[in-house]
Amino acid sequence: MEPGYALPAGCGTQEPVPCCPHNTAGSGQEVYHFPEASGNSSSYLQSAIEEAHSEEWARQTIRYLSDCERHMKMATFVPSAAVYSPPPPFRPLPLAQWFETVHSNDILSHLDEMKGAITSTYGRILKMDSTKKITKKLAGMIGESAAWMTNIGNEFGQVLNSVLTTGEGAGLEELCQGIVTRYRNAGQPEPEVIYVDRDCCSQSGVSSVVKLFHPWRSAVRLDSFHFMRRFNCGLTTEHHPLYGIFCAKLSSCVFEWDQGDVQRLKEAKRVEWKISHSGQAPTEEQLMAAISPGELKRHCRRRTREVEEMRSMISGQLESVWELTDTTGLRLVNHNSMRHIWEVQQKHLECLQDPPGVARYTKVGTLQKGGKELDILRCGRGSSSLESFHRHQCAFVPGWRCNAVHMQMYMLEGVSRWNMGRAKEAVDVEGASTLRTFDVQLMSHLNNMSQRVHGCALVPEFTPPGKPTGERIAVEYLLAQTNRGDLLAPKQMPEIPTQVLEEDEDEPDATVCMPGDLGAVEPDAALCQSAELGAGGSAVEDQVSLEGDTEPGPLVAETSQSDSRGVVGWEAVDVLAAYLVDLNCTITALSVKEEADIVRLYAALHAMDKAPSRYSQKAKKKGRASGGPWRAPRKPSGSAPGQQAAERLYMTHGQAAQDPEVHRAA
């Protein structure tokens, strides 16, 4: 009798249940797709499955032992006692690295589908923006060369391409020309406008963005959010109580709302107010206070003001806040900085203008509010959608850092799922399904079979992606720029390694004695023994290695004195120390004879005494960040070489000094 079946939460003869709370997440396709959710790292996956398997093993064992106990009671009068086999031992799960490798290989088997979902995306309004957030998660030597993650999106929030690059400007030429070639090969018209966060104009008349997208003649406009963010450098602090009011007033100087849309929204809110206030009509102030900024953005359109009107309103806005302070007397505006910023930014007012003839709003639905039907609008202006994508993009990579292979896998999977999730908005199809799946082969097969059986597609909004265009995506782009070669080969794990528990190395504990002090020895002998254990082994090794150098040390005479570890040359150290102590400390310079004597005495030292001091590593050396989320990274040291080594000889911060491995004189 062995536990070969599942056991529910209770004991006895109840019906069995699946061994994992996530349906069959213990094995099968669910395991592969579980890390695809945002934030599910391989360690969390391994821990969750191991916990579920451990609980199920305990339930099965309890049921088996329950049956054995029941059989034992029934066999009381049997002469020969029954022998029950012990339950099978719990089999440990693979390590987290195994799950991560399986997930990566599963992504590699769908590379063409994922790349096709990215390179089959187009748009009539493009947005280009860069971020540094994701570059901090790239580990290894290749991570030091990544400066920016540049994304190009469209008006629907989809991403045309996402690359890691060593720098902006000329480093994005291959990215932009790949987009141009994609449009040309697909027969797509060139975009009407391109929104950027920099390089919107040039003194020569042709901006660098236009050169990157040559031969397109699309209009290049500066994103209003980045324009207004530049005024923050002229403020004393972003935490000022008047900062929010300043930003809101600055936005009203750049944009004006469509009065027809605002009037329809006010009528709907007026009816809502009357219903909730027993028919009482609201005042104009109460009505405007009841309208939230989100409702304005959702139901009303806005356009940029004319250049001169915008210049006049911003100048008046700056004059009105010029002397404003908070309750402590802190000014909102730094006068010198704000004057310089406004002088420089006035030339970009023309870059903010909406290009004529470009439809910037798309109707995505309707909403009943106060008995009125209001349109739900989506704005294609600016790069706000990319700013939102940047925050989600960091969640594509689970954990703190990953290597180039896993970064490429996570970016391909994340961007392709992001585009497929927004495909419904990009395709205007009636009767769109509510199905939420990202398997291209599954949806293609479903539509093909439903077309043959029912004559219509069950997922009409799904469009199979085309073949990859050969554009470099994510880490591939960075590798091509840095000539690092192909670091994206899949890893093979022929067998499951056994899990070995490792203890995290922490700061040295001064209360823990040396291993040599465990025995009952005399105090003087213990001190000598600890000194030998702390520095003797390495010193002897250094002596042997130094004796094999090309420059031999001084010959060992019969009268040479040795230290407690048996290393000769102690008399040379004693002579040099005595000479240095007898020097005249009242003068600030040495004579020529004294310099020659010091050099001569130093040359007579043993080779081990001339070597620099070295200390054993007390903790693991991390690359950039600390070992955990609650440890602040240490600031880079600007001290001279050897300063930190010398500081370790003294007691600091309540910790005992560390013994050096070399230099007996120390």
How many separate helices (H) and strands (E) can be counted in the chain? Answer: 24, 9
Q: How many CB atoms lie within 10 A of CB 85?
A: 10
Alpha carbons 561 and 654: distance in angstroms, whole number: 36
Q: Hey, what are 246's tokens? A: 């300043």
Q: Hey, what are 520's tokens? A: 């009952």
Q: How far is CA 67 from CA 6, 17, 64, in A?
A: 13, 18, 5
Residue 515, preceding peptide bond in cis (omega within 30° of 0):
no
320 vs 277 pLDDT, higher one: 320
pLDDT in tens, 602-611: 998 888 888 7
pLDDT in tens, 282-301: 899 999 999 998 899 999 99
pTM of the model: 0.64
Task: Flag the least confident range among 163-177, 214-228, 487-501.
Answer: 487-501
Q: How far is CA 129 from CA 152, 233, 255, 539, 666, in A?
A: 7, 20, 22, 57, 56
Q: What pLDDT sits at residue 306?
A: 95
Tell me the pLDDT band of 140, cut-offs 50, 70 and 90: confident
Alpha carbons 254 and 304: distance in angstroms, whole number: 6
Q: What pLDDT sits at residue 433?
A: 72
- Inform me whether the pLDDT recorded for 547 exceeds 80: no
Share of the chain above pLDDT 90, in %: 35
Alpha carbons 126 and 383: distance in angstroms, whole number: 9
Interior angle at CA 428, CA 423 and CA 434, nearest 5: 55
Q: Helix, strand or coil for residue 26?
A: coil
Q: How many CB atoms lie within 10 A of CB 251?
A: 14
Identify which of 100, 89, 90 has the alpha carbon closest to the alpha carbon of residue 46.
100
Stretch 80-95: mean pLDDT: 87
Tell me the pLDDT band of 3, cut-offs 50, 70 and 90: very low
- Inform me whether the pLDDT recorded for 516 exceeds 60: no
Parallel, antiparallel or unpaired: strands 193-196 and 219-222: parallel
64 vs 422 pLDDT, higher one: 64
- Inform me whether the pLDDT recorded for 639 exceeds 80: no
Task: Flag the least confident range among 307-311, 364-368, 494-498.
Answer: 494-498
Residue ranges of the alpha helices (H) in 515-657? 523-531, 537-547, 570-581, 592-603, 607-610, 643-647
- Give the distance from CA 570 to its chain's centroid: 55
Angle in degrees, 0-180, between the axes of helices 96-108 and 404-421, rounded to the nearest 10? 60
Q: Hey, what are 47's tokens? A: 């821990």
Tell me the pLDDT band of 325, cut-offs 50, 70 and 90: very high
One-character DSSP codes across 275-290: HHTTTPPPPHHHHHHH
Q: Helix, strand or coil for residue 171?
A: helix
Q: What does DSSP assign to residue 461?
A: T
Q: What pLDDT sits at residue 456?
A: 86
CA-based radius of gyration for the chain: 36
Strand extents, DSSP E, 216-317: 219-222, 255-257, 302-304
Q: Under a CB-based contact definition with an 8 Å cutoff, are residues 9 and 59 in contact?
A: yes
- Inform me whether the pLDDT recorded for 524 exceeds 60: no
Starting at the edge strand found earlier in the chain, the sheet holding 125-131 runs 159-165, 148-153, 125-131, 193-196, 219-222
- Inform me whether the pLDDT recorded for 652 exceeds 80: no
Q: How many CB atoms lie within 10 A of CB 114?
A: 26
Tell me the pLDDT band of 179, cut-offs 50, 70 and 90: very high
Average pLDDT, the chain: 77
Q: What pLDDT sits at residue 553?
A: 43
Q: Hey, what are 215's tokens? A: 């031969």
Stretch 144-162: mean pLDDT: 91
Q: What pLDDT sits at residue 637?
A: 45
371 vs 507 pLDDT, higher one: 371
Stretch 22-28: mean pLDDT: 42
